[in-house]
Amino acid sequence: MNNDKVIYLDNNATTRVAPEVAEEMRPFFTELYGNPSSMHFFGGGVQKHLDSARRKVAELLGASAEEIIFTSCGTESDSTAIWSALRAYPDKKHIVTTKVEHPGVLNVCKFLEAQGYRVTSLPVDGEGRLNLEDLKIAITPDTALVSIMWANNETGVVFPVEEAARISHAKGALFHTDAVQAVGKIPINLKDTKIDMLSLSGHKLHAPKGIGVLYVKKGARFSPFMLGGHQERGRRAGTENVPYIIGLGKAAELALKNMEKENAYVKALRDRLQEGLVKAVRNVRVNGGGAERLPNTTNISFEYIEGESILIMLSEKGICASSGSACTSGSLEPSHVMLSMGVPQTYAHGSIRFSFSVYNTEEEVDAVIRELPAIIDRLRAISPFADGKPLFGMEACAPHKH
């Protein structure tokens, strides 16, 4: 497949590095390569650029520069936040999270559960929404941390994390949000919130893969994950990944400057695709379509077919999208998000996520609307399920019990 012809609608998986970002990073590989911790002028010069990038990231979040810790990725930020909360409150043994978190939170909680911690995973409704009454009931004096994502990576559904943070604080628990899918896509202003920690990842907002941030509110108890040197004010050891931090700073600056305009643009593309497909294909449902969502994301289920088959056939046409399914022991399981939302089994297997960026065009959307209905028709024609027969292997796809 010719990469020039790619129609890339998988921007929640990762994004193209913006040309302005790549350009800003370039000198920090070959010319400005000093170690920012060095005493000499050459390192000190780099430190100034690092400080500037930190301020830009802080500005995007409505935070102050001292509250920004650079990490290697969103996953490291999530792990750091959870472990830190447990070390900060060693007598507390309970965590509250949701059933639809990214594995970066989900699997840490699973591990901790096996170590003897108690984990409460809040349910979502049919549109993927949380009920904050469930949160109020779940928090106990033993709760060290509440971790709730800002926006879901599969459906784009946005959670009311500011209110959730207020509830958590009032009940004496720290609050962390995995905002990897939200930062750069919706306005965030942490200043007057009770959010103690927030994770973000550069590669979701046109910076490179392998750079992340953990925001830690001034005054919040914090215990570092990585020990070693005194970098990041002793909160994250290891020589800073200077070129990538510079890139993230530039990406944050661009996101803040262009967010309103870009949101309107990607939302129009998203809605065009969604409406076009709903009109052109029978038996489809938009998962989370009734909830508040990220402007760039839609998750559409096509009844009676496997999402993976759709993805393969789209890929043959140069169209990149994604499904949340995981192939385990030979059976394709619907994603934990679809199962938690109670999406009917006949639909849950055939869910496809389309996620946009400012680099997409109307022509690309129209190409998908042209190609996809024929793909669905072909797959339904050979589907053993489409004539109403029961789904083979249904038992293997029983809902997870998180």
Q: What is the contact surface with ligand PLP in residues (CB under 6 A)?
A: 73-75, 102, 104, 149, 153, 178, 180-181, 201, 212
Ranges of beta strands (E only) in 173-295 are: 174-178, 197-201, 212-216, 284-286
Residues 217 and 195: beta-carbon distance below 8 Å: yes
Measured from the CB atom, is 98 or 346 closer to ligand PLP? 98
Catalytic choice (109, 320, 327, 397) = 327
As measured in angstroms, the least distance from the Cβ of 180 to ligand PLP is 4
Question: What's the distance, Cα to Cα, between the start and end of the chain in Å?
Answer: 40
| Phi, psi (deg, nearest 5) at residue 213 | -140, 140
Q: How far apart are CA 396 and CA 132, in angstroms?
A: 32
Measured from the CB atom, is 297 or 301 closer to ligand PLP? 297
The amino acid occupying position 315 is S
3-state secondary structure of 75: helix
As measured in angstroms, the least distance from the Cβ of 241 to ligand PLP is 13
Measured from the CB atom, is 149 or 269 closer to ligand PLP? 149
DSSP 208: P
As measured in angstroms, the least distance from the Cβ of 154 to ligand PLP is 9
Which residue is it, tokens 């750091």?
80
Q: How far apart are CA 21 and CA 264, in angstroms?
A: 22
As measured in angstroms, the least distance from the Cβ of 75 to ligand PLP is 3
As measured in angstroms, the least distance from the Cβ of 12 to ligand PLP is 6
Residues 307 and 349: beta-carbon distance below 8 Å: yes
Measured from the CB atom, is 75 or 351 closer to ligand PLP? 75
**Tokens encoding 347:** 């639909």
Residues 298 and 353: beta-carbon distance below 8 Å: yes
The amino acid occupying position 245 is I
Is 327 an active-site residue? Answer: yes
The pairing of beta strand 331-333 with beta strand 326-328: antiparallel
As measured in angstroms, the least distance from the Cβ of 335 to ligand PLP is 12
When CB distances to ligand PLP are compared, the closest residue is: 74
Measured from the CB atom, is 326 or 398 closer to ligand PLP? 326
Measured from the CB atom, is 212 or 307 closer to ligand PLP? 212
3-state secondary structure of 120: strand
For residue 265, give every residue at least 6 positions away whose Cβ sits within 8 Å of its Cβ, in sequence order, or none: 358
**Tokens encoding 300:** 């559409």
Strand partners, 145: 95, 174
Residues annotated as catalytic are 327
